[in-house]
Chains A and B, each alone.
Chain A
């Protein structure tokens, strides 16, 4: 970490914000939609905002609201949320060696608001050994968190403005950014086996199992492939 003048802090924060910018735009229709869906499901505005603020995990929120009816299947919703968000355990473990160098307060903020998007940008920076200042991490995280709150609140007020984010390609923003991140990670370490294994496993699991198990199981398979191929690399070196 370099010297922390107000100037460098601001520059790093803005650098983080710029890296997240396409996804901040991509989130707009989904935020509006989750607010409107919450209202349609019969939740009060404060309940929707509590969910946005405390759960802050878009996919699991959409799935939960989809199941929101009376009598409320509370246990099923909570269990499904856990299943959908299980990948965070892997993500937190991967970030742990870098996150533990951060002071407690920003570390807690980052982990509390850790989602696919800001975590992926964080890991890209961490693995390529570029400077990972607290201001940069907050630039990735804070606008991203507040952006979700803003648009979902507007969604509760404006109602069904957006029916179908797919129609304008907003859903594909995340696909494109994640694809480019995968490409970037591959350029750094040239390991193809985790990518191929994860993709094939995800496709098979998505076909066989309901819900989003394909993410967690696909990711585990990719990590297993990395573990197996590491042994081979060692043998080559000997």
Chain B
């Protein structure tokens, strides 16, 4: 029963946003604000890990961004994960 309840509220959260906005024609302003949702959600998810966990996590984030500046995404991902493992071991 509790699992079914968990599933029900989760499915509800997944479909509600679409139900609310799916049938409207959106203004340029609304469209522009909605395009800020991904950065806002993703930044909020990672902010504590990147900025408030420890020096290893923060430095590895810097390494990731530096790598992404010149290298392909997959290489940058590997650089970031390897550097956090190494830095966690060192610090």
Spell out A's residues near B (CB within 8 Å): 22, 47, 50-51, 54-57, 60, 64, 72, 74, 77-78, 81-82, 85-97, 99-100, 111-112, 114, 116, 119-120, 123-124, 127, 168-169, 171-173, 175-183, 185-186, 189, 191, 194-195, 197-199, 201-203, 206, 214-223, 225-227, 230
Q: Name the residue of chain B whose CB is nearest to the CB of A222.
A: B40
Q: Name the residue of chain A whose CB is nearest to the CB of B73.
A: A180
- Determine if B36 and A202 form an interchain contact, defined as CB atoms under 8 angstroms apart: no
- Determine if B31 and A219 form an interchain contact, defined as CB atoms under 8 angstroms apart: no
- A-B CB proximity, top 6 nearest: A92-B17, A222-B40, A218-B44, A226-B36, A93-B17, A94-B37
- Determine if A203 and B51 form an interchain contact, defined as CB atoms under 8 angstroms apart: yes
- Determine if A93 and B21 form an interchain contact, defined as CB atoms under 8 angstroms apart: yes
- Determine if B5 and A74 form an interchain contact, defined as CB atoms under 8 angstroms apart: yes
- Determine if B17 and A89 form an interchain contact, defined as CB atoms under 8 angstroms apart: yes
Q: Compute how far the CA of A22 lies from the CA of B64 in the bound complex, rounded to whole angstroms.
A: 14
**Chain B contacts for A168, CB-based, 8 A:** 85
**Chain A contacts for B26, CB-based, 8 A:** 97
- Determine if B47 and A88 form an interchain contact, defined as CB atoms under 8 angstroms apart: no
Q: Per DSSP, are chain B's interface residues mostly helix, strand or loop, or mixed?
A: helix
- Determine if A88 and B22 form an interchain contact, defined as CB atoms under 8 angstroms apart: no
- Determine if B65 and A114 form an interchain contact, defined as CB atoms under 8 angstroms apart: no
**Chain B contacts for A78, CB-based, 8 A:** 2, 5-6, 9
**Chain A contacts for B91, CB-based, 8 A:** none
- Determine if A91 and B41 form an interchain contact, defined as CB atoms under 8 angstroms apart: yes
Shortest Cβ distance from B12 into chain A, in angstroms?
8
- Determine if B47 and A180 form an interchain contact, defined as CB atoms under 8 angstroms apart: no
Q: Name the residue of chain A whose CB is nearest to the CB of B19.
A: A92
27 contacts between A and B (CB under 8 A): A50-B3, A51-B6, A81-B10, A85-B14, A88-B10, A88-B16, A89-B20, A91-B37, A91-B41, A92-B16, A92-B18, A93-B21, A95-B18, A99-B18, A123-B38, A127-B35, A169-B84, A175-B80, A176-B61, A177-B77, A179-B65, A180-B68, A215-B41, A222-B43, A223-B36, A225-B40, A226-B32
Picked from A82, A99, A195, A219, the residue with its CB within 8 Å of the CB of B13 is A82
Question: Does B90 have its Cβ within 8 Å of any Cβ on chain A?
Answer: no
Q: Compute how far the CA of A77 lies from the CA of B43 in the bound complex, rounded to whole angstroms.
A: 26
Q: Compute how far the CA of A169 lies from the CA of B21 in the bound complex, rounded to whole angstroms.
A: 38
Q: Compute how far the CA of A221 lies from the CA of B81 in the bound complex, rounded to whole angstroms.
A: 29
**Chain B contacts for A171, CB-based, 8 A:** 49
Q: Compute how far the CA of A234 lies from the CA of B33 in the bound complex, rounded to whole angstroms.
A: 13
- Determine if A202 and B42 form an interchain contact, defined as CB atoms under 8 angstroms apart: no
- Determine if A194 and B43 form an interchain contact, defined as CB atoms under 8 angstroms apart: yes
**Chain A contacts for B33, CB-based, 8 A:** 223, 226-227, 230
